[in-house]
Structure 1
């Protein structure tokens, strides 16, 4: 049964991704990493009381947003699987990722990653990526999976359910010195 609290989790997740998309402009050439503690979403300490119902709402929202915007998605597991990621097999191929073998379950991987593994069409597992943007629900520490220059994104929400929300987009490194030019001008 879909409670008002669960419906709010889905709506808030969609809103957060919309806020992130407005700044990150993700397309089919980009990966969005999702780290989410369903325990934190339902008001418990991270890793202490995962909610498959909250996880289902988060995964549904992310997959709806992916269908709308076309980006690729990677769902981060918990530390019991060394924060491995669940991706679609097409993402694995397109980005040249190295597959590892493990199946996330709620007690080793987390409720969100295990739900994503069951919901994706052709799931595959990878140890690491360098995503172009990230949504961290509940302070799950997704930074290790972002490209080197992360830029904080401030959205309209600070929480999803009861979990703190942090978002980032990335940009290419600016290299060079005083003579460097960072934007192409037809007249230069």
Structure 2
């Protein structure tokens, strides 16, 4: 397991490295948010522990930058002095937890457990979404049109009239679409599209190829 620690305090970075290293967590330390952001595109997805009060670029700015890159890795923010307003802002920006320094071992462990669990769930969802989109991308424009009309409840005959093709041709497109999507029914087709974040009902049924 990997954990990214972004904190200007070298003592904090060393402490977390020593404390978590014995638990099988590889700590990658960064002294500044900008250093982390310069490398983030090449890094593996992993939880982040970052200080909200860094001078150069605070934790809130880090969260904003990550959101702008569509990166939603679990983030645990740390703060000194119990700044409630800052903590609330961080949570609204996506932080899963805000811990006050010095961090209590139990609180940190609980936050890390939650972060790694969330990361695992996110990875599964991402893989499912990618798989669904890859299957949907295999459809031709005509097959997508047939699928759209099937989802809308049209019969093969009605689809043929809409697309100016025979019911037999519609059945052929339907069979190929089901095979490419690796589903057995229209209901499964709808679920697959939802997994891929694609509304097949929004496809223009008038498309012809």
TM-score range, shorter chain: under 0.3
Larger-gyration structure (1/2): 2
Q: Give the structure with the higher percent strand.
A: 1
TM-score normalised over the length of structure 1:
0.26
Q: Which has the higher helix share?
A: 2
Pick 1 or 2: higher relative contact order, CA cutoff 8 A, min separation 6: 1
Query: TM-score with structure 2 length normalisation?
Result: 0.25
